[in-house]
């Protein structure tokens, strides 16, 4: 724990954190739809699986991996690394409870964005990292060809992970809105006895009883694409965890996305499993 505390002191944030900005001309747009998830996929021509998204992510992450840029998010490169402290604190906490070892599943973790963002600090804290990313087939193939190392591996599903019984935390960072059946995926975590869940950068409706499906349109400054995306009822999601997880803490993210006629927020949660 002393190493962890020392590392945290090196990275104490300023009083005012710099707000995340993509420097975009056009904001990411969301439009409520009455279509089904599958119908939206057809309309958007396979959405997130488009090859141009993988190409843009690969190009950006290779520049981070090779030291040309310190940080990438959603394929956008930054000249300064941004550390998001609620997420980092959660990772440090889990590691401290597991002999300074972080065995993590990063569900929908792209080509390692969050790994590259946090690995240096985790290592300075003396933490051993086993970072396992679950992704689409094309991302898994690219990840294992260009980014895999002794700490970072890519898989199509949890059952492919050889040491899955040692996994202590599952991270869902900006991925639940893009799953057809997000509640089924969350419920599956109970099957694997994963003690901690981190939900980060997830879209919520603050005062609505039900989830809403939208069509998200990404401006070409990031990559030109559109795909289905959920806005979750905040009360519904919290009630889902009520009997199986304790919410250790909740945070508001620096980014924000609007949906007409609704009060929205982008939030994160750090959850601990209740074992009955």
Q: For 55-79, what is each residue's pLDDT tens digit?
A: 888 898 899 988 888 877 777 788 7
Asked whether residue 249 is domain-assigned, the answer is: yes
CATH number at residue 249: 3.40.50.150
pLDDT band with cut points at 50, 70 and 90 for residue 50: low
Asked whether residue 113 is domain-assigned, the answer is: yes
Asked whether residue 142 is domain-assigned, the answer is: yes
Asked whether residue 17 is domain-assigned, the answer is: no
Number of domains comprising the chain = 1
For residue 107, the enclosing domain spans 2-11+69-206+235-273
Asked whether residue 112 is domain-assigned, the answer is: yes
Asked whether residue 229 is domain-assigned, the answer is: no
**DSSP letters for the chain:** -HHHHHHHHHTPPPSSPPPP----SS--EEEE--S-HHHHHHHTTTGGG-HHHHHHHHHHHHHHHTTS-SEEETTEEESS----HHHHHHHHHHHHTTTTEEEEEEET-TTTHHHHHHHHHHHHTT-EEEEEEE--HHHHHHHHHHT--SSEEEESSGGG-TTGGG--EEEEES-GGG-SSHHHHHHHGGGGT--EEEEEEEEEETT-SS-EEEEEEE-TTT--EEEEEEEEEHHHHHHHHTTTEEEEEEEE-S----BTTB-EEEEEEEEEE---
Asked whether residue 114 is domain-assigned, the answer is: yes
- Does this model's pTM top 0.95? My answer is no
Position 191 scores a pLDDT of: 85
Asked whether residue 49 is domain-assigned, the answer is: no
């Amino acid at each position: 724990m002393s190493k962890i505390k020392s590392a945290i002191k090196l990275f104490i944030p300023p009083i005012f954190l710099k707000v995340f900005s993509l420097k975009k001309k056009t904001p990411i747009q969301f439009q409520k739809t009455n279509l089904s998830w599958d119908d939206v996929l057809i309309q958007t021509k396979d959405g997130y699986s488009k090859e141009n998204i993988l190409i843009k992510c690969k190009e950006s992450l290779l520049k981070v991996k090779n030291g040309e840029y310190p940080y990438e998010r959603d394929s956008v490169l930054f000249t300064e690394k941004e550390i998001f402290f609620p997420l980092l604190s959660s990772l440090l906490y889990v590691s401290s409870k597991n002999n300074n070892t972080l065995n993590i599943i990063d569900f929908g973790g792209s080509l390692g964005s969050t790994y590259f963002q946090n690995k240096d600090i985790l290592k300075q804290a003396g933490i051993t990292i086993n970072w396992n990313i679950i992704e689409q087939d094309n991302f898994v193939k690219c990840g294992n060809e260009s980014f895999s190392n002794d700490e970072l591996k890519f898989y199509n599903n949890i059952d492919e992970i050889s040491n899955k019984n040692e996994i202590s935390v599952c991270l869902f960072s900006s991925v639940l809105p893009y799953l057809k059946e997000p509640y089924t995926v969350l419920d599956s975590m109970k099957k694997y006895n994963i003690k901690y869940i981190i939900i980060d950068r997830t879209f919520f409706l603050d005062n609505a009883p039900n989830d809403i499906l939208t069509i998200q349109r990404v401006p070409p400054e990031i990559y030109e694409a559109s795909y289905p995306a959920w806005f979750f009822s905040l009360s519904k999601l919290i009630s889902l965890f009520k009997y199986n997880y304790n919410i250790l803490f909740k945070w508001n993210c620096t980014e924000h996305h609007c949906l007409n006629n609704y009060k929205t927020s982008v939030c994160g949660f750090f959850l601990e499993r209740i074992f009955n």
